[in-house]
Amino acid sequence: MIKRHAIRLTPLMLLSLAWPVAAQQVDEDLPDESYAAEIYAVEAEDVDPAAYATLAREGEGDVWSCASCHGAKGQGNGNIPRLAGLSTGYIAKQLHAYAEGVRINHNMQYVATKLTDDEMLGLARYYAEMEAPSNAGPALGGDLDRGQELMIHGDWDINVPACYSCHGSSAWGVEQAFPSLAAQQPAYTYAQLAAWTDGRRNNSPLQLMQGISHALSDADRRAVADYLATLPAPPAEEPTP
Amino acid sequence: MSHSDQDPNTQRDPGRTTPQRIVIASAVAAVLVAVGAAIYAAGIFNPIAQSPDRDADRGEQIARQDTERRQAWLAERKEYTADPKATPPSLPVAETGYFIPNDVADAPDNQFGDSVRRGYEIFTNTQTNASQHVGNGMNCANCHLGAGTVPGSAPMWAAAVEYPAFRGKNKIINTMEDRIHGCFTYSMNAQNSPSGSPPPRDGDIYKDLQSFFFYMAEGAPLEGNLPGRGYAVPPEPEDGYSITRGETVFENNCAVCHGTSGEGRRDPNGRWIFPALWGDDSYNWGAGMHRVNTAAGFIKHNMPLGQGGSLTDQQAWDVAAYINSWERPADPRQLRDGLTVAETDERFHEHTPNFYGDEVRGDLLGDGIPGEPTAQQPPSIGAPRHSQQASR
């Protein structure tokens, strides 16, 4: 099994940063977890997502096709997540997280350990630049009013900020690190909220999601997962010029 | 399975009739159901079905309890209004000891309730609902979390009962309208807004915001000095505060949301999600938050979002210093009074810990030119997901 290491900022990587304003701010001691998504997105500018379409659709050797589980349009199904419209950096970061074992899922770990870094970036862009309507809907019997309350206001009695205050006003995500939640499969969203609490997922910047998932009751998790499934799907990420 | 499992199917007991067997089977079934119900009722499944470290529906329990406490308070008040000899109502407080504000969702279905709801909308989405008077990327609710309800985040139910008051900042008696006018002038940088100024005096924006505050504060005593008001400033560390240490705190705890250049972030709709902490889109040099002590108080109790209290006092002071050691829109009083930065520094910035008028990284802080259109948003490291069309 190939052990992949957390990304390290190297002088070469610094040079690859496209914007001088940003580059002057980046130090070598930046923590990986918080910046990984943004760094992968910069790296992904050099890969051509079209070159990885076959890998996504048909697989290759030991690597199963993404589409065999996530669907031809990347919409997901059941507890298989939607990928279409997630940010490039977020998807790439998750693939690395599976390969590194900080996200536990046997199927994804099997696949991710066989992918090269470039394949991860290419597949990430392929799905980020895909736009597909929602095929999700409430499925967990969650209280949609409570879900909307958590999305828009949060619940400060239990120290839970509104979902939108990090994931955006339409829950379409914010730049690279904060993924879209809209039109996500509710069983998947629910499973992630559980995974942050029980340690199967351990890659949230500043452990932000751990704190939130600890605070949410089972009913809250079902409510918010079902509510997010009612929202329109995110737009495709704009291709890098 | 084992042989015994199959016995009933393969061996007939000649001593029992079919009705007897039915009776025995029913009795066994009834016992099993009773045992299952007892286990369920005893709640010993809960630790298995739920993580032991969190209470089931704690948010709902607290909300219900708070509602009950407010209703009890209302009943006491009604009794006291009808009979002055009755016991006066005590303060409606939550289990935490903090005041329980009215919930906007319960505002009455009349003109006042409409005003409360409009005030709430202005407060939470100032960018849209007071767009003509906002000259940066801020919303009221950025610094008053939970739509002005959260203790330690300058909650509006506590502020509503503290005005009119004399303020050293402008050395006059301030009504709540004056106070809000000040927020627009400084924190919302109205000088750079489409109208160029705060909302016109006596206008609906003030009325609606005040209705909203007033409604939340129903039952709070005037000048109550309620716990949770303002930003409780942690004691200044013995060794002072350091921009250099603050930079490390910022990179480790703040930049993932606010960006490595403190530039803030917008969502694909162009709406500001993480406010800018310095630069053209942030609060100006006249805002209270530019003071290191005030920012340290806000940060200590509220940041990172959802993890208030996680930074040490030293870290809060250091990172407050770092954030406030960068250039931001000019102090509007400098332009108003035709002053130099040095004169403005002397007149308005001498008595608080701040970097106005200081030279940091070779840059004189405070000399930003006001009134210029907002410069193009500097991209954060990494690709912005979508073209960031301005929302205003």
Per-residue model confidence as pLDDT tens digits over A51-70: 999 999 999 988 899 999 99
Residues whose CB is less than 8 angstroms from the CB of residue B1 and which lie 6 or more positions away in sequence, other chains included: none
A35 at B interface, C-beta within 8 A: yes
Lowest mean pLDDT of A25-34, B115-124, B202-211, name the range. Answer: A25-34
When pLDDT is averaged across residues B66-75 and rounded to a whole number, the result is 96
Q: Chain A closest CA to B143's CA: distance in Å?
A: 13
pLDDT of residue A80 exceeding 60 = yes
When pLDDT is averaged across residues B225-238 and rounded to a whole number, the result is 96
How many CB contacts within 8 angstroms connect chain A with chain B?
168
More confident residue, A140 or A3: A140
A175, A176, A178, A220: best to mutate for the B interface, most B CBs within 10 A: A175
- At A174-189, the pLDDT tens digits run 999 999 999 999 999 9
Chain B hits for A160, CB-CB cut-off 8 Å, are 59, 306
A168 at B interface, C-beta within 8 A: yes
When pLDDT is averaged across residues B98-109 and rounded to a whole number, the result is 97
ipTM of the complex: 0.86
Positive or negative, the CA dihedral B106, B108, B109, B113 is negative
Q: Give me the helix-helix angle, A208-215 and A186-198, nearest 10°.
A: 100
Percent of chain A with pLDDT over 90: 78
- At B168-223, the pLDDT tens digits run 999 999 999 999 999 999 999 999 999 999 999 999 999 999 999 999 999 999 99
Residue of B nearest to A171 (CA): B267
Which of B57, B271, B385 is the closest to A87 by Cβ? Answer: B385
B256, B327, B387: best to mutate for the A interface, most A CBs within 10 A: B256
Check residue A241 and give its pLDDT. 65
Residue B370 pLDDT grade (very low, low, confident, very high; cuts 50, 70, 90): very low
pLDDT of residue A8 exceeding 80 = no
Percent of chain A with pLDDT over 70: 86
- For residues B328 and B355, the answer to whether their CB atoms sit within 8 Å is no
3-class SS of residue A103: strand
When pLDDT is averaged across residues B215-237 and rounded to a whole number, the result is 96
3-class SS of residue A105: coil
Range(s) within chain B of domains with CATH label 1.10.760.10: 107-216, 243-364
Residues whose CB is less than 8 angstroms from the CB of residue B225 and which lie 6 or more positions away in sequence, other chains included: B162
User: A60-74, B293-307, B375-389 — which one is most confidently predicted on average?
Assistant: B293-307
When pLDDT is averaged across residues A70-77 and rounded to a whole number, the result is 96
Residue A29 pLDDT grade (very low, low, confident, very high; cuts 50, 70, 90): low
Check residue A199 and give its pLDDT. 86
Residue of A nearest to B253 (CA): A206
Check residue A7 and give its pLDDT. 41
- For residues B264 and A165, the answer to whether their CB atoms sit within 8 Å is no
User: Residue B291 — φ and ψ, nearest 5°?
Assistant: -80, 135
When pLDDT is averaged across residues B74-90 and rounded to a whole number, the result is 96
Which of A38, A168, A217 is the closest to B273 by Cβ? Answer: A168
When pLDDT is averaged across residues B19-41 and rounded to a whole number, the result is 89
- At A187-219, the pLDDT tens digits run 999 999 999 998 889 888 999 999 999 999 999
When pLDDT is averaged across residues B61-72 and rounded to a whole number, the result is 94
When pLDDT is averaged across residues B37-48 and rounded to a whole number, the result is 69
CB within 8 Å: A41 and B255: no
Q: Chain B closest CA to A108's CA: distance in Å?
A: 25
- For residues B306 and A206, the answer to whether their CB atoms sit within 8 Å is no
Q: What is the CA radius of gyration of chain A?
A: 17
Chain A hits for B382, CB-CB cut-off 8 Å, are 22, 37-39, 41-42, 89, 175-176
CB within 8 Å: B256 and A206: yes
- Helix runs in A59-138, H state only: 67-70, 88-100, 106-112, 117-128
CB within 8 Å: B380 and A175: yes
Q: What's the whole-number average pLDDT of chain A?
A: 88
Which of B53, B265, B379 is the closest to A19 by Cβ? Answer: B379
Residue B362 pLDDT grade (very low, low, confident, very high; cuts 50, 70, 90): confident
Topology of B243-364 in CATH?
Answer: Cytochrome Bc1 Complex; Chain D, domain 2 (1.10.760)
Residue B161 pLDDT grade (very low, low, confident, very high; cuts 50, 70, 90): very high
Check residue B41 and give its pLDDT. 77
Nearest-angstrom CA–CA distance, A173 and B313? 32
What domains are defined for chain A? 11-128 (1.10.760.10), 144-229 (1.10.760.10)
CB within 8 Å: B267 and A172: yes
Nearest-angstrom CA–CA distance, B245 and B241? 8
pLDDT of residue B230 exceeding 70 = yes
Q: Chain B closest CA to A134's CA: distance in Å?
A: 17
Check residue A43 and give its pLDDT. 94
Chain A hits for B63, CB-CB cut-off 8 Å, are 155, 157
Which of A29, A38, A157 is the closest to B59 by Cβ? Answer: A157
Check residue A125 and give its pLDDT. 97
Residue of B nearest to A213 (CA): B54
* Residue in the block written with tokens 């470290």: B53
Two tokens at B156?
């509006």
pLDDT of residue B386 exceeding 50 = no
* Residue in the block written with tokens 């100006």: B284
Residue B12 pLDDT grade (very low, low, confident, very high; cuts 50, 70, 90): low
More confident residue, A26 or B329: B329
Residue A50 pLDDT grade (very low, low, confident, very high; cuts 50, 70, 90): very high
Check residue A239 and give its pLDDT. 81
Architecture in CATH of B107-216: Orthogonal Bundle (1.10)
